[in-house]
Amino acid sequence: MTNRLLARLGHLYLGLILVFLYAPILVMAAMSFNRSEFYQLPFDFTTDWYAKLWHNGEILAAAGRSVWIAGTVTAIATVLGTAASIALYRHSFPGKALLRALLFPPIAIPWLITGTAMLVFFFGIGLDRGTPAVIIGHVALALPYVIVVVSSRLATLDPALEEAARSLGARPWTVTRAVTIPWILPGIIAGALFAFAVSFDQFVVSYFLSEPGDSTLPVLIYTSIRKGFTPEINAVSTLIIAVSMALMLLAARRVRFGGED
Amino acid sequence: MAEVRVERLVKSYGAARALDEVTLDFPDGGFFGLLGPSGSGKTTLLRAIAGFVAPDAGHVFIAGRPVEDVPVEAREIGMVFQSYALFPNMTVAENVGFGLAVRKISGAERARRVAEVLELVQLGPYGARKPQQLSGGQRQRVAMARAIVTRPRVLLLDEPLSALDKALRVDMQIELKRIQREVGITTIFVTHDQEEALSLSDRIGILRDGRLIRTGTPREVYSAPGDAFTARFLGEANILRGSVEPAGLRLADGTLLPGRATACMAVRPEHLRLTAAEPATSHRLRLRLVQRIFGGASGTAVLDWQGQRLKATGPDDTFADLAEGQEVWASWTPDRALPLTD
């Protein structure tokens, strides 16, 4: 009796969580197809906002810039993070524990503070605001995520696998390429997705480090909401969600997160 | 193929000495078993020969050349790991061909040698499978094939059969021995399973606390263990202690075992004869039969002598006429009493 009741409550709880998570998104997606600019009902289907979006050069340019920056950040952070994870896995050196510990605070420190610090630092070393500064900032933010995810996958690697490859005559780089990387690939892909998400969603650091008129999509959305909300923002957000959900589903089909089975 | 020699090998982990001045020769083409309890240093010794462990002092020679400065990948060894360590992202054939691929051996030649060695381990049709689709015994044979296909100078086996269940383990012992004889590679293997060591090896070495305490053929070591640890570790042994008198060994219960004596000696369970009537030899003990254990082909009698547990074994119905709880005599022929240092 109690078990069944608990199971029902569990289902209800799960249902509520899904509603809270997805209801606002569904409303937003619905409103991007509603004719009224002020979210008035009855619902009147239209694709006008998408057509308008298609002609809004400002939003399209910002979206393109966001994708380009996120792609670059993903590439850099994934390569650096994977290399760092393998180094931390293979070698012991003085200060290794400290270095590992230092990787976590960037995840916990509020982005507002990190962003301010970066702004001050970049100003100090004479690096102007602009896309390079944004990319460097995003890489710094994304790197710990990649290292954490790849390292947790590396922790499941049987050391005997690498030793077996060496005993068969493989040099260190061959061992890495033929044995280590295939094993940690799910972690690398997951880390890359995190890196992309961290960069693509990033507002604070982008806001601080990008030049006015050269902003990323989150920054543009923020500034245009302040000016006055239009359903075009709903439309672009819906598109972003659709694309990122599709990417996640693709990744989930290829990779099982959280290890084997 | 080559002979291997280790000379005064020392390796410490903190205060613990994993290897303490170990000197040992592994003859060319031989099957050498390293035996010892966990923590005895046997795995460290194997890994030092492979090159995964850098010794603090001493030398490893392969084919007469010191290999301290030769990294693992250039030592031309084959190794089989306890977990088999088959590459999960590769097929059986790719696993076996890995060592040939890193040696830049061309596709056709590689395929031929992979097929040949898979045939040798009786896995001919399994080349296209993934390791995950194989049984434990098959994985073991793939690991073996992968280790020997490169024609290494030495084959190192780290507890190669311990992951298999008992029935399969006996089959694989026979298989392992057959493969080793066919390819004739100098083989060194580590085990804590004494039966495995006895049945596979040409020679064995017994390690304890990082020191090599006994080497020889299995028969030599079993029939003349030399010390109490070896006697107990290799096979089972009833250890008898007493004080040496001019006439012989005086045991705690007053029994005098006549003849040349050492303060400690052992009698193997299979050499103890149990009788209800007093035997016509002075090499005997009066003790109590605690329990009879039926073991199919063989039977075991658990005995209590002065509070010490002894064991006797024999063919299935040897002890059928004795009752549990009965006082009995255990006797042996004097040459079966093995003198030991303590």
Give dist(CA B332, CA B284) in Å, integer: 7
Name the amino acid, one letter, at A238. Answer: T
Weakest-pLDDT range from A31-35, A227-231, B160-164: A227-231
Percent of chain B residues topping a pLDDT of 90: 34
Question: Hey, of B76, B80, B81, B185, which one would you mutate to test binding to chain A, going by the most A CBs within 10 A of its CB?
Answer: B81
Q: Which residue did the predictor score with more confidence, B58 or A260?
A: B58
Which residues of chain A are within 8 Å of residue B88 when distances are taken between CB atoms?
183
Strand-strand pairing, B57-62 and B4-13? antiparallel
pLDDT of residue A1: 59
Place of tokens 């994977």: A82
Percent above pLDDT 70 for chain B? 99
What average pLDDT does the structure give for chain B? 88
Task: Please tell me which of the candidates A164, A169, A182 has its beta carbon nearest to residue B103.
Answer: A169
Residue B67 reports pLDDT greater than 70? yes
Lookup result for tokens 């029939």: B223
Which of B29, B18, B3, B2 has the alpha carbon at shortest distance from B182? B29
* Shortest CA distance from A163: residue in chain B: B52
Structure tokens at A200: 């693509």
- Give me the residue from B72, B86, B103 closest to A167, CB to CB: B72
The dihedral through the CA atoms of B187, B193, B199, B201 has a sign that is positive
Beta-bridge partners for B216? B204
Statement: B4-230 belongs to CATH 3.40.640.10: no
Mean pLDDT of the B2-26 span: 89
Q: Inform me whether the C-beta atom of residue B78 falls under 8 Å from chain A C-beta atoms.
A: yes
Q: Counting every residue, how long is chain A?
A: 261
What would the pLDDT profile of A36-64 be if each residue is shown by its tens digit? 776 667 777 877 778 877 887 888 888 88
- DSSP letters, B313-337, are EEETTTTTTS-TT-EEEEE--GGGS
What chain A holds in terms of domains, given with CATH numbers, is 56-254 (1.10.3720.10)
- Are B191 and B169 in contact by the 8 Å Cβ rule? The answer is no
How many Å apart are CA B212 and CA B24, to the nearest integer? 8
Neighbours of A57 (CB within 10 A): 8
Q: What is the pTM of this model?
A: 0.79
- CB atoms A161 and B102 under 8 Å: no
**pLDDT, tens digit, for every residue of A82-112?**
999 999 988 888 888 888 888 877 778 888 8
Query: Position of tokens 């500064």?
Result: A133
Range from A22-31, A35-44, B226-235 that averages highest in pLDDT: B226-235
Q: Do A182 and B89 touch (CB under 8 A)?
A: yes
In the predicted structure, residue A128 carries a pLDDT above the cut 60: yes
What class has domain B236-337? mainly beta
Give tens-digit pLDDT for A3-14. Answer: 888 888 888 999
Q: What is the mean pLDDT of residues B289-301?
A: 85
DSSP code for A45: B
The amino acid at residue B19 is: L
Q: What is the DSSP string of B118-134?
A: HHHTT-GGGTTS-GGGS
Cβ <8 Å between A169 and B50: no
Q: Which two tokens stand for residue B124?
A: 């001919």
Q: Pick from B43, B98, B132, B190 the residue to mutate for testing the A interface (most A CBs within 10 Å).
A: B98
Size of interface A-B (CB pairs under 8 A): 62
How many Å apart are CA B317 and CA B321, to the nearest integer? 8
Residue B89, chain A, CB below 8 Å: the answer is yes
* DSSP state string for B213-249: EEEE-HHHHHH---BHHHHHHSS--EEEEEEEETTEE
Strands B31-35 and B186-191: parallel
Least CA distance to B81: which residue of chain A?
Answer: A160
Q: Which of A167, A176, A261 to mutate to test the interface with B (most CBs of B within 10 A)?
A: A167
- pLDDT tens-digit map of A138-182: 998 899 989 989 999 999 999 999 999 999 999 999 999 999 999
Label residue A232 by pLDDT band (50, 70, 90): confident
Distance separating alpha carbons of residues B87 and B85, to the nearest angstrom? 6
Q: Do B50 and A168 touch (CB under 8 A)?
A: no
The three-state secondary structure class of B37 is: coil
Q: Distance between CA atoms of B66 and B308, rounded to whole angstroms?
A: 49
Q: Cα(A217)–Cα(A58) distance, rounded to whole angstroms?
A: 9
What amino acid occupies position B217? T
- Domain boundaries defined on chain B: 4-230, 236-337
Give the tens place of pLDDT for each residue, A65-75: 888 999 999 99
Q: How far apart are the first and last CA of chain B?
A: 39
What do you get for the CA distance between the two ends of chain A, in Å?
A: 32
- Sheet strands side by side (includes B327-331): B273-275, B327-331, B284-295, B298-305, B308-315
Distance in angstroms (rounded) separating the CA atoms of residues B313 and B291: 12
- ipTM over 0.90? The verdict is no
Asked if the domains at B4-230 and B236-337 fall in one CATH topology, the answer is no
Q: What's the mean pLDDT in B163-185?
A: 82
- For residue B170, give the H/E element and its range: helix B166-183
CA–CA distance, A258 with B6 (Å, rounded to integer): 44
Give the other-Cβ count within 10 Å of A97's Cβ: 9
**pLDDT at residue A261 in the model:** 37
> Contacts of residue B96 in chain A, CB cutoff 8 Å?
none
**Strand, helix or coil at B300?**
strand
CA dihedral B13, B16, B19, B20 (to 10 degrees): 130
- Nearest CA-CA partner of B189 in B58, B26, B3: B26
Averaged pLDDT, B72-101: 92
